[in-house]
Chain A
Amino acid sequence: MSPPGADLAIETFGLVKVFGETRAVDGVDLAVPAGTVYGVLGPNGAGKTTAVKMLATLLRPDGGEARVFGHDVLREADAVRSRVSLTGQYASVDEDLTGRENLILLARLLGHRKPAAKERAAQLLDAFGLTEAADKQVKHYSGGMRRRIDIAASILNTPDLLFLDEPTTGLDPRSRNQVWDIVRAVVQQGATVLLTTQYLDEADQLASRIAVIDQGKVIAEGTKGELKASVGAGSVHVRLRHAEQRPEAERLLTQYLAAQVQLEHDPVALTARVGLAGDGGGAAEQAARALHELSRSGITVDNFSLGQPSLDEVFLALTDHPATGPDRATDPTDPTDPTDPTDPTDPTDPTDSTSPLDPTAARTPVGSGGPSKGPTSKGGAAK
Chain B
Amino acid sequence: MSTAPTTETRATRASTSDALAPVTAEGLAAVLISKERPPRPSAWTTSLAFGWRAVLKIKHVPEQLFDVTAFPIMMVLMYTYLFGGALAGSTTDYLQFLLPGILVMSVVMITMYTGVAVNTDIAKGVFDRFRTLPIWRPSAMVGYLLGDVLRYAMASAVMLTVGLILGFRPDGGVVGVLAGIVLLMIFSFSFSWVWTMFGLLLRSEKSVMGVSMMVLFPLTFLSNIFVDPKTMPDWLQVFVNNSPVTHLSSAVRDLMDGGWPAVEIAWSLGWSGALVLVFGTITMRLYNSK
Contacts and interface: CB of A to CB of B under 8 A. Distances in A.
B8 A143 contact: yes
A143 B23 contact: no
Interface in B91-145: 123-126, 128-135
B125 A91 contact: yes
Interface residues of B, number: 53
Interface string A54-68: 001110100000000
Interface string A109-122: 11111001000000
Contacts of B29: 185, 188-189
B35 interface: yes
Nearest to A131: B21
Interface string A69-80: 000000000100
Contact of A189 (B5, B20, B22, B33): B33
B230 interface: no
B281 interface: no
A361 interface: yes
6 closest Cβ contacts across the A-B interface?
Answer: A129-B21, A111-B38, A90-B125, A185-B28, A82-B134, A81-B134
A109 B125 contact: no
Interface in B14-37: 14-16, 20-25, 27-35, 37
A329 interface: no
A37 interface: no
A127 interface: yes
B11 interface: yes
Interface string B32-49: 111101111100011001
A142 B11 contact: yes
Contacts of B14: 140, 142
Contacts of B61: 96
B31 A124 contact: yes
Nearest to A57: B132
A357 interface: yes
A345 interface: no
B57 A111 contact: no
A105 interface: yes
Interface stretch (A150-158, A229-237, A240-248, A269-277): A150-158
Interface residues of A, number: 70
**Most chain A Cβ neighbours within 10 Å, of B31, B33, B133:** B31
B52 interface: yes
A186 interface: yes
14 contacts: A81-B133, A93-B129, A105-B52, A113-B38, A129-B21, A144-B20, A145-B15, A145-B20, A155-B32, A172-B12, A175-B20, A185-B23, A356-B1, A362-B5
A355 B11 CA distance: 22
A295 interface: no
B231 interface: no
Interface of B: 1, 4-5, 7-8, 11-12, 14-16, 20-25, 27-35, 37-41, 45-46, 49-50, 52-53, 56-57, 60-61, 123-126, 128-135, 289
Given A185-B29, A361-B4, A158 B20 contact: no
Contacts of A139: 7, 11
B23 A123 contact: no
Interface in A37-63: 53, 56-58, 60
Contact of B49 (A81, A96, A108, A137): A108
Contacts of A30: none
Given A57-B131, A137-B60, A142-B14, 6 more contacts: A93-B126, A124-B31, A132-B21, A142-B12, A189-B32, A362-B8
Given A110-B41, A127-B28, A172-B16, A97 B11 contact: no
B8 A109 contact: no
A85 B24 CA distance: 21
A111 B39 CA distance: 6
A262 B37 CA distance: 54
A356 B37 contact: no
Contact of B34 (A60, A129, A143, A158): A158
A327 interface: no
A105 B11 contact: no
B275 to A, nearest CB: 27
